[in-house]
Structure 1
Amino acid sequence: MPQMSPMWWEILFLLFISFYIMMNIMLYFNKKNNSIKNNKNMMKHNKQINWKW
């Protein structure tokens, strides 16, 4: 098996991929939660506005 890469390359590659996936998952849920919070704040803000037309 002369074409095989060293084991530490594979480990580094797998660690990099796993960190990348985890980071993307965390960013996705963080943005999702922020958008929900922003929507709630907007709804509260909209209720407090007294429109005078």
Structure 2
Amino acid sequence: MPQMAPLNWLALYISTALLYILFNSLSYFESKYYPINSQTSNSKIMYNWKW
């Protein structure tokens, strides 16, 4: 029935959008952040610029 075609497109759009949001949120929250502990952050780095 051609009258029901817009409902199928709407359902397809909603399911695709939900899948996209789900994939992006899982990808964002699944990543872990490991801070880098560097010893050079405490010491002062001197640059000798000669222009």
Q: TM-score, normalised on structure 2?
A: 0.60
RMSD of Structure 2 on Structure 1 (CA)? 2.2
Query: Unaligned 5+ residue runs, structure 2?
Result: 38-51
Higher helix share: 1
Rounded Cα–Cα distance in structure 2 between residues aligned with 1:13 and 1:28: 22
Deviations 1:16-46 (A, max 9, x none): 001001100000000012xx11xx12x73xx
Computing the radius of gyration from Cα coordinates, the structure with the larger value is: 2
Identity %: 8
Aligned length: 37
Query: Unaligned 5+ residue runs, structure 1?
Result: 45-53
Q: TM-score, normalised on structure 1?
A: 0.58
Structure 1 ranges of 4+ moved more than 4 A = none
